[in-house]
Chains A and B, each alone.
Chain A
């Protein structure tokens, strides 16, 4: 059984390596048969990787503990869903998952683009299959998920307790797929460089793939935050952990990319820049995988460490060297007609957006590797914790947020100063009022929070004014009712309005993050049964503790009654779980009560023989809006992805004036 999977992986490695060589060779030597065979090889790799993955999955589902990986990550007591999820619960399996999804995406792209430019596609296949072959090499010969045990144990070790959660089903597959998906825009960039066809063609083709990759990676990050919030029990959702940082960095560069491609599409500018951005996104995705897997930097994700780090480093430096070399070689072709009509224009605001995103990524990268730098140069290990990132990244994030309000109102080419003043006067006023109102309610002792709220108010006002203006104009032009006018406005300009919806989602997240980080209330309490504490508007009464057992786990559970406004609201249960084999490493279930205004967040910290227990209690304002904002952003992304209608110009003749109504 295990041998079968192993053979499939080795075969996938061989076929991928063949395709990576055959595709460019076929184009160079003009042998169509070779190109066609490379195409078939891409599909073949997908089949082989699927076979390998299903073999491992079968191993998990049948509790085949003769496979070392299964024995180390699964056990008979685990619920079926987690047994299946244990597939990517460790090193080898998560790499297999990476490689498998890459092979599937590769085949999908090959099929969808089969009528696209042959030479370009050959190099795209080459790139995808080169990356694939690297993963095949690792999976086949370095970190095989199909290694066998000489003595078959009666039961497996089970999953690391931290992974024993619903989040395990969603977060790792999304994040890994997000990393993986950036390979595709990267492959097109390499294809464009290799063929020398560097016009906007490759950008048009990759826009959707990039948007999908960006969305998946974003959702993966969001799910990670959600999981950390529910499981790690320190009251927050983002800890600036090195692994979190390496997951957010490619997403941020990707965000810069999906903005700056718009300039290339519209104005033919920034060709080199966009290539560099998409390449960096891929580098950072590989760097992220390397950080998670190598353990060079201390992290909460350290359960996935191993010795494959050096392979990733070699691979990454090879890819960086070759592709940067290609970029320099093609520089003469990339001289674009960069003309700017005014500093006050959409183009320049997009470039400022890029600068800020890059500055942000540099700050995060620098903070992440600084402990290593410090140790190498001055020999002392330095901690770069959340306060550093909050202080450095905070102002940049606020500036980006503000730009989100400015950018969309900036006209292309040339802005008119007095026009812009008119345009921005009301939203700025609205923002200031929001900031002052919050200050009156919550006090003026947190100026950073007030600035953040004011900026959020400003952005919301600009987006809303855009939507209202567009709807009114459309209504005037077509006579539709407001709802229909709005719906048509969005569907006919789906990229633009999809973007606005994403922006509104981001504003929701920004408001919630500001509120929950600046106005969090926390209290440590040691209570005997029957005693209570008050925190914010809540009153908590400790009812007592009980112990119960589930298969493979002992649970110590504390129950608290929650009152607010003098009325019993319900119960909060928080527990510690002692998994078999991980007794010294109990995991925590946080008791969370969510309302639209705040989350009551109760963590069981410890207990005494006399039945008293200590708790960390937090009241985190508005956290639910982070998740809702995330959902909204995903919705906006889907709107932007929606197949565009054919560009057409409808001319409506009205008495005394001709009007061009919105190009789709």
Chain B
């Protein structure tokens, strides 16, 4: 009698454990993944611990999981891995110390580039008050007509006519004067 009961009892118990485990595992799984995504698999190129099929990555995932189960928090686990493997275990450079340069240099370069470009463009700008710039030219008139008719393309600059060149000469003369 006992024996007959034992099997279903065990089965139910196992199922219960499995269900609890599964329900619990779900969130641990997610957290393991989130932490694993921030860690670089040390033996593979370009794969995070969460995505790598390598053995070591598997072990690291297991470590993360057991630490989570033991109640450790994400920062604690990250610190553990950084202490063991160094900063290189992080998938992105840490935002402190020398590695801050990795983040700052592109931004600084872009800003410097922006300033250089602005100054360059300002230097190339024709003086705005030049009356010649608004003087009617043949090319300008043609463009105006084309524009009114909707056939002009913004792509077509007016041909570099003699008037244009004369205007440039005039500008230069003015600036030097």
Contacts and interface: CB of A to CB of B under 8 A. Distances in A.
A377 B98 contact: yes
B22 to A, nearest CB: 10
Interface in B53-88: 53, 86-88
Interface of B: 29, 33, 38, 40, 45-48, 51, 53, 86-94, 97-99, 101-103, 105-107, 109-110, 113-114, 117, 121, 124-126, 133, 142, 145-146, 149-151, 153-158, 160, 168, 171
A534 interface: no
Q: Main SS of chain A's interface residues? A: mixed
B125 A382 contact: no
B90 A383 contact: yes
Given A382-B102, A413-B158, 13 more contacts: A239-B46, A241-B46, A374-B99, A378-B97, A381-B88, A383-B91, A385-B46, A387-B91, A388-B103, A474-B151, A496-B153, A605-B53, A660-B146
Interface in A187-241: 233-235, 239-241
12 contacts: A239-B46, A241-B45, A339-B126, A341-B133, A355-B117, A367-B106, A374-B93, A381-B88, A385-B46, A385-B48, A657-B145, A662-B151
Most B CB within 10 A of own CB, among A235, A383, A658, A659: A383
Contact of B92 (A346, A384, A472): A384
Instruction: List 9 tightest A-B contacts by C-beta distance, closest first.
Output: A385-B91, A363-B106, A412-B157, A473-B150, A359-B110, A340-B124, A388-B92, A381-B88, A383-B40
Given A383-B40, A396-B110, A411 B154 contact: yes
B127 to A, nearest CB: 11
Contacts of A658: 145
B148 to A, nearest CB: 9
Given A339-B126, A660-B142, A302 B45 contact: yes
B51 A235 contact: yes
A380 B88 contact: yes
A653 interface: no
B150 A298 contact: no
Nearest to A352: B117
B149 A477 contact: yes
A300 interface: yes
A392 B51 contact: no
Nearest to B149: A659
Given A351-B117, A359-B109, A383-B40, A234 B150 contact: no
A386 interface: yes
A11 B102 CA distance: 47
Interface string A459-481: 00000000001101110110000
Interface string A314-355: 000000000000000000000001111111001010011001
Given A340-B121, A383-B40, A374 B155 contact: no
B99 A472 contact: no
A662 B46 contact: no
Interface of A: 233-235, 239-241, 266-268, 298-300, 302, 337-343, 346, 348, 351-352, 355-356, 358-359, 362-363, 366-367, 370-371, 374, 377-378, 380-388, 391-392, 396, 408-413, 469-470, 472-474, 476-477, 493, 496, 522, 524, 588, 605-606, 616, 657-663
A387 B124 CA distance: 39
Nearest to B109: A362
Nearest to A470: B153
Nearest to A268: B160
Nearest to B154: A411
Nearest to A525: B29
Nearest to A378: B98
B110 A476 contact: no
Nearest to A269: B124
Contacts of A366: 102, 105-106, 109
Nearest to A603: B53
Nearest to A338: B124
A378 B102 CA distance: 13
A662 B156 CA distance: 9
A385 B92 contact: yes
Contact of B154 (A241, A408, A659): A408
Contact of B151 (A300, A380, A661): A661
A470 B151 CA distance: 7
B47 A234 contact: yes
Contacts of B102: 366-367, 370, 374, 382, 384, 388
